[in-house]
Amino acid sequence: MTLDTFSITLAKEYLGEDAYEHLRNLIQESSLRAPMLLSILKELGQEIGHEINRTRIYEKMIDKLLSRETGLQTIQSNFAVNNEAFKATFSKLSYALLDKGYAGRFPWTIVDSILPELKITLGDFVRLTHMGLISEIVEGHPLPDRDLVFRHQSFQEYLASLELKKHLFSQNKLNKEALLTHLEYNTWDEVILFLIGSLESMIAKEIVSFISDYDLILAGKCIAHYKGNKDEDFREVINRLFNLLKDEDVRWAAAMALGNTGSEKAFDQLISLLSNENSTVRWAAAVALENIDSERAADHLISLLNNKNSSVHRAAAYARGNIGPERDVDRLISLLSYEDYCVRRAAALALGNIGSERTIDYLIPLLSDKDSSVRWVVAEAMGNIGSERAVDHLFSLLNDENTDVRWAASRALGKISKKIKDGDLLRLIERFHREGYNKAVDTLKSVHKRRFIKILYPQSSRIIK
């Protein structure tokens, strides 16, 4: 199993299927797939609502962290400030560190020189570290050789964006010279993206248009975080991104940028890239189409499922399964018997994402596929579908020669077990235990938050009596 698939599976487990689908495009960013951040997202729950602007979510996550840390009220009392003042101080520190080239991690030795510049005392800095956004990396090194690290680099970038806003604007007028200075270094790219998400449309449009003269790809990424009408306000920028699709060196990056814009006008261009000879370009186009999430795109992808080129099949099947409903399942089922294992795997992945129970009978034969990656994807797909009919078939995979396949089967059985009656669940646990599938037992214990004492520790019945 790839790291990417593993982390997305964790995201679904943390948030639940419904919340994951709602936040899917955001969670696909590596920064939001960290388990710690996912746990905060889960805590936020309904507070996020339908507001999926990344900047706003980070604002809520920071507030949640500041309010849930142990001893916060005591620290606030001693520090005589509130959460907003904490954020302001953190923002200055985050910006200053990034300005000196320290992204995510910085040495204790820099603290003595940077704190006086920011008018932050060492005592106040120590209090800030107690808030939980910064921690110390001990690694056996004595002071001053130790490093400090932000809980996640994206926290530093979000906080730095609050300070960047002060540097770029004076009386609501954009300081283009200051913006150009920050554009010089890629270090500021993520900070700028956070900034765009915090600005009103008119001001954000001015910044994105300015950026497009120097880095068109970055401008495309910025559009994804823009609050206004993307197609109408950035027609010229999007058209220039279309022209980049002709450049073999940057075609894949342009495709990703177009997908991030969510532009309705990007459909035809991206669809045509699914048949590109370069596999990276094809995959970038598929992911971009998933971000656009349109029925028109879905119709085009359906037609490409009949394409004779297996690489086109793979990209189309992947994207189709992520953006489409149950209709056209038959087209994907037909690809399960395709000679190219990559096509079989992509079709199984797509069917798992669609979640139609009637596909189980077609997926079962692939549990014995000669390619292990197909087997684990099929196991994952069956877990997503959640049919009890898959239980016995998945059980056979617990003896698979491949570790990833065994893990996927165990996870899938855990998902399905959520939907079965308690008596059947207990029999499943007993079966796992009797036949020595300890990892599968651990999975079900974790999923159901139960110890299954009477089954796993039969001697306890004597104690109970």
pLDDT tens profile 392-417: 888 888 888 998 898 888 888 888 88
The domain total for the chain is 1
User: What average pLDDT does this structure show over 264-288?
Assistant: 74
Query: What mean pLDDT value characterizes the chain?
Result: 77
Instruction: Report d(CA 205, CA 200) in Å as an integer.
Output: 9
Across the chain, which distance is largest between two alpha carbons, in Å? 80
Question: Which residue has better confidence, 288 or 318?
Answer: 288
User: What average pLDDT does this structure show over 165-188?
Assistant: 89
Instruction: Report d(CA 57, CA 42) in Å as an integer.
Output: 12
Most confident range, picked from 37-51, 162-176, 181-195 = 181-195
Instruction: Report d(CA 400, CA 403) in Å as an integer.
Output: 7
Task: Kindly report which listed range (127-136, 165-174, 401-410) carries the lowest average pLDDT score.
Answer: 127-136
Number of residues assigned to the chain: 465
Query: Which residues, other chains included, contact 37 with Cβ-Cβ below 8 Å and sequence gap of 6+?
Result: 31, 61, 152, 154
Q: At 213, is the secondary structure helix, strand, or coil? A: coil
What is the model's pLDDT at position 1? 35
Residue 42 lies in a domain: yes
Instruction: Report d(CA 383, CA 211) in Å as an integer.
Output: 44
- What is the token pair recorded at 139? 């690694």
Residue 46 lies in a domain: yes
Express the helix, strand and coil content of the chain in percent, nearest 5 each.
Answer: 75, 5, 25
Instruction: Report d(CA 128, CA 109) in Å as an integer.
Output: 17
Distance spanning both ends of the chain, measured CA to CA = 46
User: What average pLDDT does this structure show over 226-238?
Assistant: 85
Residue 28 lies in a domain: yes
Strand positions, DSSP E, 275-407: none
Instruction: Report d(CA 77, CA 176) in Å as an integer.
Output: 40
pTM, whole model, 2 decimals?
0.65
Residue 66 lies in a domain: no
What strand order describes the sheet that includes 105-107?
A: 105-107, 147-150, 134-137
Question: Which residue has better confidence, 459 or 214?
Answer: 214
Residue 426 lies in a domain: no
Smallest CA-to-CA distance from 432 within 448, 451, 456, 450 is with 456
What is the Rg, in whole angstroms, of the alpha carbon atoms belonging to the chain? 25
Task: Kindly report which listed range (249-263, 319-333, 346-360) carries the lowest average pLDDT score.
Answer: 319-333
| Paired strand residues for 200 | none
| Helices 176-183, 201-212: inter-axial angle, 10-degree rounding | 50
Q: What are phi and psi of 147, to 5 degrees?
A: -110, 155
Distances (CA, A) of 231 to 208, 223, 322: 13, 10, 23
Reply yes or no on whether the pLDDT at 311 is more than 70.
no
Smallest CA-to-CA distance from 272 within 304, 231, 306 is with 304
Reply yes or no on whether the pLDDT at 188 is more than 60.
yes
The whole domain housing 11 covers 1-52
CA angle 428, 432, 436 (to 5 degrees): 170
Instruction: Report d(CA 293, CA 205) in Å as an integer.
Output: 23
Residue 444 lies in a domain: no
Contact, 168 vs 179, CB < 8 A? yes
Q: How many CA atoms lie within 13 A of 127 on its CB side?
A: 22
Contact, 336 vs 366, CB < 8 A? yes
Instruction: Report d(CA 456, CA 430) in Å as an integer.
Output: 8
Written as one letter, the residue type at 207 is: I
Distances (CA, A) of 404 to 12, 34, 218: 18, 21, 36
What is the CB neighbour count within 10 angstroms for residue 80?
Answer: 7
Instruction: Report d(CA 375, CA 12) in Å as an integer.
Output: 20
Instruction: Report d(CA 458, CA 465) in Å as an integer.
Output: 12
What is the CB neighbour count within 10 angstroms for residue 458?
Answer: 10
Instruction: Report d(CA 95, CA 80) in Å as an integer.
Output: 23
Q: What percent of the chain is modeled with pLDDT above 70?
A: 74
Residue 160 lies in a domain: no
Residue 38 lies in a domain: yes
